[in-house]
């Protein structure tokens, strides 16, 4: 009897986790995550942006620091210091829990650029690939 209860409990827990992540498998959640990541860049939250990568918790600390420094440099050069706004225009969700979100970036001189951001749905939510 104990074994049946244990199996039921484990099965219920796994189903709960799956339901939580599937609840995030929406167009709105993918678009919001993509906008949030680029908003972090605009605000200078480079650590938050790097933490938005899939499996970033497994990055060695030296690599994480390097990535943060690269994002600072990337945002300081070229057109990127003039990035002012980001809007998700569209997305495509795939059955393999991935998405591609089309973002429109707006710069200080009122020009726009469209980019695609690939995402993957993980237990903690949408992460950049």
In the chain, where the domains are located: 2-128
Position with higher pLDDT, 110 vs 1: 110
Q: How far apart are CA 69 and CA 83, in angstroms?
A: 18
Q: How far apart are CA 11 and CA 82, in angstroms?
A: 50
pLDDT bracket for residue 11 (50, 70, 90):
very low
What are all long-range contacts of 103-110, with beta carbons under 8 Å and residues at least 24 apart? 103/34, 103/35, 103/38, 105/38, 107/79, 107/82, 107/83, 108/82, 108/83, 108/84, 109/82
Percentage of the chain beyond pLDDT 90 is: 76
Tokens matching residue 92: 């495509």
CATH number of 2-128: 3.10.450.50
Q: Is the per-residue pLDDT at 17 higher than 50?
A: no
pTM of the model: 0.79
Asked whether the predicted pLDDT for residue 51 surpasses 80, the reply is yes
Confidence bin at 71 (pLDDT 50/70/90): very high
pLDDT of residue 23: 65
The token pair that represents 32 in the structure block: 């919001």
Tell me the average pLDDT of the chain: 86
Residue 110 main-chain phi, psi, to 5 deg:
70, 10
Per-residue model confidence as pLDDT tens digits over 73-125: 989 987 687 999 999 999 999 999 999 999 999 999 999 999 999 999 999 99
The pLDDT assigned to 79 comes to 65
Distance CA 94, CA 117 (A): 14
């Amino acid at each position: 009897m104990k074994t049946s209860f244990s199996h039921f409990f484990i099965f219920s827990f796994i189903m709960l986790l799956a339901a939580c992540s599937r609840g995030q498998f929406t167009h709105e959640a993918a678009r919001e995550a993509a906008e949030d990541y680029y908003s972090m860049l605009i605000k200078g939250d480079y650590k938050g942006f790097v933490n938005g990568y899939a499996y970033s918790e497994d990055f060695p600390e030296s690599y994480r620091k390097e990535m943060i420094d690269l994002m600072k440099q990337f945002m300081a050069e070229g057109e990127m210091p003039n990035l002012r706004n980001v809007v998700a225009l569209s997305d495509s969700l795939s059955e393999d829990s991935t998405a591609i979100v089309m973002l429109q970036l707006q710069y200080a001189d009122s020009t726009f650029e469209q980019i695609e951001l690939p995402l993957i749905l993980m237990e903690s939510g949408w992460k950049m690939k």
